[in-house]
Structure 1
Amino acid sequence: MVLGSRTFDRRRDAIAWAERTEAQAVGGVDLKAGKALVRDLLPEWLEHRRATVTPQAAATDGQLIRLMSPSLGARAVASVLPVDVERWYVHLRQHHRQSDGSMKRYRGSLSAFFAWCIAEGRAAQNPVTPSRLPAPIGPPSEMRPLSEADLSDVVEKVRARCAHCADLVTVLAWSGVRFGEARELRVKDVSELPTPSLRVSRSRSEGEPVKSTKGRRARRVPLAEPAWAIVRELMRLKRPDDLLLTGEHGGQLWRSQFLRSSGFTEASDGRRIHDLRHSFATLALARGVDLATVSKWLGHGSVSITDRYMHYLGTQADVAGLALLNGGGSAPGVRDDESEAGL
């Protein structure tokens, strides 16, 4: 049935939509439509959502069905209150062990769902907007990059347990790719000319479908000699579509298996795998690569994001100032002979 600009498979759907539209026109909500349950409307919203957002955003939205609490899912959309949403946040943390960052993303998805309900005349207000997320658990993780000497030490400790794992540590530390991106690299993503490099265009979190990179765009990352020597060897006897970086026995790379086989946590004094990416950034900047180039290699959306590594390393002014302190430099405008005379 065709009604205005909308087409419906069933007559009752067309009538329901017309009633909601009429209620919106007079500034109200269709009470009957508002009685629909959250869990029943989510699939309909997701179908609409997939046609309007990026695949990555749609994948995040799609997790709401799995993560929905029984109590919130059983509520009529027009009756949901901010306190109901806040109870759902607690459910996410206690039953699904979601991180603070993930909870923010799912909060955004739920807010988009209720915005759609309002547009459909099913609800008058968005209960997510005034709701508050629980306080973060513990302090935010600080980056702990490795110096070049420390990196060599960690690689050797890992090599004593697993030579293949040591090669993976080296590639990650000298390319700066995220672990999820490393899992999806293929042989065809490697270029030799004009310089050895990787084309990073995909990522895959464990248990999730393949998606675009965090920055949602492909980037090219140069392969420094320590990484290129290993990558060149890994490419041998492989086809273009084969995985470039694999687990110890040639299968898909898994974080838990890698940590268990490599002993990386102990070898690196409690660091995270992601600190290898931080190490790449600081190594490049310490060797004089300019900030904009490093930002491009890392796939950051803004140089200001990469600038935090400069704060970690210290500015050139810090380096010059420390040289004066260590060298016994005099105050500006004071000659050495005046300083020695106590003037």
Structure 2
Amino acid sequence: MSIRKTPGGRFRAQLKNGRQFVGSRTFDTKKEASAWLKREKAALDGGIDPRAGKERVSLVVERWLKVRESTVAPTTYRGDRNMVRLLPTSMKNVHLSAISEREVARSFETLLAKGLADGSVVRYRASLSAFFAWCVREKLIASNPVTGVKVPKGSDEVAEMDPFSEYELEAAYLTWKMKDERLADILLVMGWTGLRWGEVRAMQVANFVEVPTPGLMVRRSQPEGFAVKSTKGRSVRRVPLADRVLSIVRSFAEGKAPGDLLFTTRGGGQLWRTHTVRELQWKKTGRGRRLHDLRHTAACLWLSRGVEPGTVQAWCGHESIATTNRYLHFLGTDADKAGLNKLNDGLGSAGGARDARDGA
């Protein structure tokens, strides 16, 4: 191992394993170069450099953020920066190796006690876990203290989905058509395909296929204000196009090149949420729903039509069947329906209060 000063005033660290050259990196200070060499040598030896864990968490977090800025999506990076803001001072100022599951759990409890929403604490946990996983990979610590700690369930009510029924969707569609037929068509497609708003904005003509069956290949997403990126979960999925919306999608694709955007405004421009909700008077016509509830509408529509939950999971791109099962609980299970039929069968035949009234 060696460190030499470059003509530019920086320090280049060279790592060797015996006589074999392994790699090199250039740093602004000799201290950083020395620390990197020690960590890499420890990794070569298959162990952890005990001195690496003596660094304060706040300093290691800043190095991690520099890596994350160029390796994750902007929204993920913003969540990581927010994690640093929420990190308790007591955790920032201790040695990396001193962080245990107890400190992690206490940070969750503190944030919840301050009134932070459950979902925000879950996102905080995800970034914190990613940070410590990176530390393990860099051989700074031996294990991730977040892995075994879950976010306690808060007592606040969870915001429920509010999908349209098929009848409500068609009624809303007729109202939207009177305001802007093109935008109305796009929202109807969303209600039948479960596309997210960012996925609709990024969908290209080439993603529309009709062989072997009509469908849309969901490969990209473009949230407003950001560049095109991969879909949530970084997976590609195929969603079907039922006859109800197939002709609509064909009309959007007509006359366009494969690389053109599929769903556009009347002027051929990219879709914007503000323009859409204003033109369709969404606050009134959506009856308190979000545009994202059109995705929930599609999942409920598929399940109510008898599509298998596993297939719905694939069409929605859910990583877990538990997410899909939320829609089953919303719609009611076969047991719920059978039980209701029993309650409604032969009203009053069970005797009790009604028989007493009849005999009075």
Provide TM-score, normalisation by structure 1.
Answer: 0.72
- Structure 2 residue 95 is the aligned partner of structure 1 residue 78: yes
* Change over 3 Å in CA distance of 1:174–1:210 after alignment to 2: same
> Does the 8 A contact of 2:193 with 2:240 survive in 1?
yes
Query: What one-letter code is carried by the residue in structure 2 that aligns with 1:194?
Result: P
- Structure 2 residue 268 is the aligned partner of structure 1 residue 246: no
2:58 and 2:322 mapped to 1: Cα distance? 45
Instruction: Using the TM superposition, give the Cα deviation of residue 138 of structure 1 relative to its aligned residue in structure 2, in angstroms.
Output: 5.1
* Change over 3 Å in CA distance of 1:330–1:316 after alignment to 2: farther
2:117 and 2:256 mapped to 1: Cα distance? 37
Match of 2:8 in 1: none
Correspondent of 1:9 among 2, 9, 25: 25
2:162 and 2:54 mapped to 1: Cα distance? 56
Moved more, 234-243 or 34-43: 34-43
* Change over 3 Å in CA distance of 1:285–1:26 after alignment to 2: closer
Deviations 1:269-322 (A, max 9, x none): 101112111211222222222322222222223433322222222233433443
Query: What one-letter code is carried by the residue in structure 2 that aligns with 1:231?
Result: V
1:235 and 1:266 mapped to 2: Cα distance? 30
* Change over 3 Å in CA distance of 1:270–1:71 after alignment to 2: closer
Q: Please give the secondary structure, in 2, of the residue aligned with 1:37.
A: helix
1:311 and 1:113 mapped to 2: Cα distance? 35
Superposed CA RMSD: 4.4
1:181 and 1:39 mapped to 2: Cα distance? 32
Q: Please give the secondary structure, in 1, of the residue aligned with 2:314.
A: helix
Query: What one-letter code is carried by the residue in structure 1 that aligns with 2:59?
Result: L
1:258 and 1:9 mapped to 2: Cα distance? 50
* Change over 3 Å in CA distance of 1:31–1:214 after alignment to 2: closer
Instruction: Using the TM superposition, give the Cα deviation of residue 242 of structure 1 relative to its aligned residue in structure 2, in angstroms.
Output: 0.9
- Structure 2 residue 127 is the aligned partner of structure 1 residue 109: yes
* Change over 3 Å in CA distance of 1:190–1:123 after alignment to 2: closer
Higher relative contact order (CA 8 A, sep 6+): 1
1:36 and 1:8 mapped to 2: Cα distance? 26
* Change over 3 Å in CA distance of 1:195–1:25 after alignment to 2: closer
Provide TM-score, normalisation by structure 2.
Answer: 0.69
Query: What one-letter code is carried by the residue in structure 2 that aligns with 1:283?
Result: L
Match of 2:223 in 1: 205
Deviations 1:114-136 (A, max 9, x none): 45457657689989789997996
Moved more, 31-40 or 321-330: 31-40
* Change over 3 Å in CA distance of 1:102–1:60 after alignment to 2: farther
1:235 and 1:175 mapped to 2: Cα distance? 16
Match of 2:239 in 1: 221
2:326 and 2:54 mapped to 1: Cα distance? 53
Which stretches in structure 1 are left out of the alignment for 5+ residues? 333-343
Match of 2:64 in 1: 42
